[in-house]
Amino acid sequence: MARHTTPEDVLAPIEVAMQALLGLMIVWLAFTAIAPLTGAHVGFGAWGDGGIPCAPVTSNGLTINSGGIDGEGHPLAAPPVENLRPGVRLGEPREYLLCRDDMGPLDEALVSVPVLVDWLWTLGFLALTTALVRRGRRDGLFTDAVARGTRRLGWFVLGGAILVALVGGVLTSVETSRLVSDFPVVAGIPGNMHVDWTAIVAGCGVLTVGRILGQAVDMHRDLEGTV
């Protein structure tokens, strides 16, 4: 006898996957917070890093020395890529690591908070998606609650992607100004914003699905009234 698959059964694997990912992220965040107490070094930005803390910054706004002498008059090290073929030269890197032995708590926070915000945004996405799938399994897809939840998830993804990029750009620009004397803070913000265009497109797509679901709910309700 053929087995009929219900919509609830279709959503079940998605809920299990979302719960597993959410649990793994929570466990990792807890482990990262507890690890320094046990002497382990788990890098979370500049927090918990056992080595010299470094700030990843883009080359936008930096004055790049292309000669053979650094800012203090010392000769530059050999090129990082050896055995280049004739006619091949190194271009300007898009990102640098600025490291400092005596990086204080404020500097560590400026480096680490963007990473934390990104993780919390991902954690919120998984939590909202899990709750939405669970509601869809319980109440069905064609309900006002699922349509509202889908739109809410879309706004969270879209707004979160912009917020993560903005926070990262501002804090990285401020930290760069603390490590480079002539760095323009405000002008450097756009260059240090890492916009996740995939997430922005996905957020717009989820918003569209939510609006379509809202229309489908009304049509489904009219159809049930007609029948």
* pLDDT of 161 above 90: yes
Q: Name the average pLDDT for the chain.
A: 79
Sign of torsion over alpha carbons 151, 157, 160, 165: negative
Rounded Cα gap, residues 137 and 145, in angstroms: 12
Q: What is the pTM of this model?
A: 0.75
Rounded Cα gap, residues 99 and 114, in angstroms: 17
Per-residue confidence (pLDDT) for residue 168, from 0 to 100 = 92
Q: How does pLDDT run across 103-128, given as a tens digit for each residue? A: 788 888 888 889 889 989 999 999 99
Six-digit token pair at 76? Answer: 């530059």
Per-residue confidence (pLDDT) for residue 6, from 0 to 100 = 45
Rounded Cα gap, residues 21 and 156, in angstroms: 18
Per-residue confidence (pLDDT) for residue 4, from 0 to 100 = 40
| SS3 of residue 58 by DSSP | strand
> Residue 53: which of 122, 99, 7 has the closest Cα?
99
Mean pLDDT in residue range 185-200: 90
